[in-house]
């Protein structure tokens, strides 16, 4: 008994000694790590590093691969290589095609795995190890929101890639985060008049919703606008992200009494759920004396490619499509096509534009300091980037521009000509007051 109590006593003393020594050792490196920079990751050499954080695996991997292609192209153009792309059409333009502020642009890449944890780990590596001064990318709103708040905490800029949830620039908006892509509120506002015209005012909708922030947001927006038309919502079922098989969710739709299926899915999930819905014969059905219809509120050409024949005649909205005829879109399609041999997706477009906008803002501010860059981007009005006149609203860092309503092309002229632009909804019709979605930007952190 005495022996054992002695043992514990001594080991406690040993332990205290070790902790004390450890504490000293721990504090030693801290002294050297005190930074001499004015702001985090200030580029001191001849280069500046950007971090491209995209999903390379998981349900959104196709989008991620296309985003990465666009980023590489943007870096080329910024460094004055290639044909210059949108540098030729962007107005107003401060970039000179010699890097950013005379520094050559370098990049690091990472895989978000469409998981918040992995995305944050990858972004942290870019910030802490590789010295990235700006993080961009993401093809999921959950990831975008997680990385955006990380960038706010760390004090670097986050240029959101493909993220469509209202929350990114709504209740989860941050001073350091900027979004060029549109959101579900705009999708709802743009789609509703077309749905009314095509399907009438007396419809019963059934929602299948990806169970995370974007799905909830889109379900809410579509409900809000369709119910304003007089539609009823039969039910809204949540499905896990990356489910793969949706048959168990689609079977109940058949006998639910609903005559419109709204698929709040994206990426491979949407390809799978739409294909299965069509295989189950939903589109050949007659319910309540009307043809059964399927709506995919957020559409992309990559998904259309995955879904093949099933996409024909289905309505949705999109941020940008390669078939647009304005000078900016044409220039981007041309240089992307020359580089990779096929046209870019909307994900590629928004990521490319975001990189250029960031670079341009640095030139305007004359510094990489995030506070200066934020000031330059807030309220920035530009044109020639494929969406017509666009404004980065200062109050919520959301871009406001026209929204495209598209339909799956019945007679595609090529394997890429899959979406037909039905309507271009002007900016004024999709705009909303910044206070509507709540949230608080906070302040610049540098």
Partner 1 sequence: MQTIITSSRTRDTIILALFALIVLTAPLWGQLIGAGYPDLLQKFAIFGLFAIGYNIMFGLTGYLSFGHAAFLGVGSYTAVWSFKLLSMNAIPAVLFAILLSGLFAAAIGFLSLRRTGIYFSILTLAFAQMSYNLAYSVLTPITNGETGLRVLRDDPRVIDTALGIQVGSSPLSDFFGLTLTGYPGFYFCAVMLILGFWFSLKIFRSPYGMKLLAIKSNQVRMEYTGFNTRPYLLSAFVISGMYAGLAGSLMAITDPLAGAERMQWTASGEVVLMTILGGLGTLFGPILGATTIKYFENIFSAFNEQVLHQAFDFLPQVLTDLMVAITSPFVGEGWHLTLGVLFMIIIIFIPGGLIEGIERFRRLFRRRHQPPGENPPGSRSHSSRGPAT
Q: Does the protein bind partner 1 through residue 26 (CB under 8 A)?
A: yes
Cite the DSSP H helix spans in 155-212.
184-199
Q: Contacting partner 1 (CB under 8 A), which of 1, 2, 29, 341?
A: 29
**Bridge partners, residue 262, by sequence:** 207, 295
Q: Contacting partner 1 (CB under 8 A), which of 241, 261, 364, 404?
A: 241
**CB of 240 vs partner 1, minimal distance in Å:** 6
Q: Does the protein bind partner 1 through residue 16 (CB under 8 A)?
A: no
- Hey, what are 132's tokens? 């990235």
Q: Which is nearer to partner 1, 140 or 398 (CB)?
A: 140
Q: Contacting partner 1 (CB under 8 A), which of 9, 16, 22, 198?
A: 22
Peptide bond into 11 cis (omega under 30): no
Kindly compute the dihedral angle of the four CA atoms of residues 30, 32, 34, 40, in this order, to the nearest 10 degrees.
Answer: -110
Q: Which is nearer to partner 1, 25 or 428 (CB)?
A: 25
Q: Does the protein bind partner 1 through residue 251 (CB under 8 A)?
A: no
Q: Contacting partner 1 (CB under 8 A), which of 18, 46, 228, 436?
A: 18
User: Which DSSP symbol is given to 430?
Assistant: H
CA of residue 280 relative to chain centroid, distance:
31
Q: In what order do the strands lie in the sheet with 315-318?
A: 232-239, 204-210, 260-264, 293-298, 315-318, 403-408, 419-425
- Hey, what are 445's tokens? 């952190």
Q: Does the protein bind partner 1 through residue 77 (CB under 8 A)?
A: no
Q: Does the protein bind partner 1 through residue 117 (CB under 8 A)?
A: yes
CB-based contact 186:175 (threshold 8 Å): no
* CA-CA-CA-CA torsion sign (272, 274, 278, 280): positive
Count of C-beta atoms within a 10 Å radius of residue 273: 27
Q: Does the protein bind partner 1 through residue 120 (CB under 8 A)?
A: yes
Q: Does the protein bind partner 1 through residue 33 (CB under 8 A)?
A: yes
Q: Does the protein bind partner 1 through residue 110 (CB under 8 A)?
A: yes
Q: Does the protein bind partner 1 through residue 108 (CB under 8 A)?
A: yes
Residues that bind partner 1 (CB under 8 A): 7, 10-11, 14-15, 18-19, 21-22, 25-26, 29-30, 33, 56-57, 108-111, 115-117, 120-122, 124-125, 128-129, 142, 145-146, 149-150, 152-153, 174-175, 211-213, 238, 240-241, 440, 442-443, 445
């Amino acid at each position: 008994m005495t022996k054992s109590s002695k043992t514990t006593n001594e080991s406690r003393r040993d332990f205290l000694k070790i902790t004390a020594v450890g504490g000293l050792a721990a504090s030693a490196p801290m002294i050297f790590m005190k930074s001499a920079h004015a702001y985090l990751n200030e580029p001191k050499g001849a280069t500046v590093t950007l971090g491209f954080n995209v999903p390379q695996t998981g349900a959104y991997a196709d989008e991620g691969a296309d985003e990465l292609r666009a980023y590489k192209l943007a870096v080329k153009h910024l460094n004055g290589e290639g044909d210059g792309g949108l540098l030729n059409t962007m107005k107003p333009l401060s970039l000179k095609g010699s890097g950013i502020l005379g520094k050559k642009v370098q990049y690091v890449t990472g895989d978000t795995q469409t998981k918040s944890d992995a995305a944050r780990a990858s972004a942290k590596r870019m910030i802490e190890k590789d010295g990235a001064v700006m993080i961009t990318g993401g093809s999921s709103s959950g990831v975008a929101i997680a990385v955006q708040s990380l960038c706010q905490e760390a004090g670097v800029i986050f240029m959101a890639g493909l993220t469509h949830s209202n929350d990114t620039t709504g209740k989860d908006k941050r001073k350091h985060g900027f979004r060029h892509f549109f959101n579900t509120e705009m999708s709802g506002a743009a789609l509703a008049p077309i749905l009314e015209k095509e399907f009438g005012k007396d419809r019963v909708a059934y929602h299948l919703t990806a169970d995370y922030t974007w799905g909830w947001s889109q379900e809410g927006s579509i409900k809000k606008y369709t119910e304003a038309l007089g539609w009823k919502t039969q039910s809204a079922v949540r499905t896990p992200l990356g489910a793969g098989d949706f048959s168990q969710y689609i079977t109940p739709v058949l006998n639910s009494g609903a005559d419109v299926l709204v698929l709040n899915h994206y990426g491979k999930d949407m390809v799978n759920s739409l294909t299965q819905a069509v295989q189950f014969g939903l589109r050949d059905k007659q319910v309540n004396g009307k043809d059964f219809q399927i709506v995919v509120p957020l559409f992309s050409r990559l998904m259309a490619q995955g879904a093949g024949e099933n996409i024909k005649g289905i309505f949705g909205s999109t941020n940008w499509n390669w078939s647009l005829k304005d000078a900016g879109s044409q220039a981007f399609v041309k240089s992307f096509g020359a580089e990779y041999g096929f046209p870019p997706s909307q994900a590629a477009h928004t990521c490319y534009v975001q990189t250029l906008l960031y670079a341009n803002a640095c030139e305007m501010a004359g510094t990489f300091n995030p506070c200066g860059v934020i000031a330059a981007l807030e309220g920035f009005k530009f044109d020639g980037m494929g969406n017509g006149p666009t404004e980065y609203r200062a109050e919520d860092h959301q871009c406001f521009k026209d929204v495209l309503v598209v339909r799956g092309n019945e007679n595609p002229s090529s394997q890429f000509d899959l979406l037909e632009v039905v309507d271009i909804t002007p900016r004024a019709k999709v705009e909303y007051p910044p206070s509507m979605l709540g949230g608080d930007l906070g302040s610049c952190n540098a």
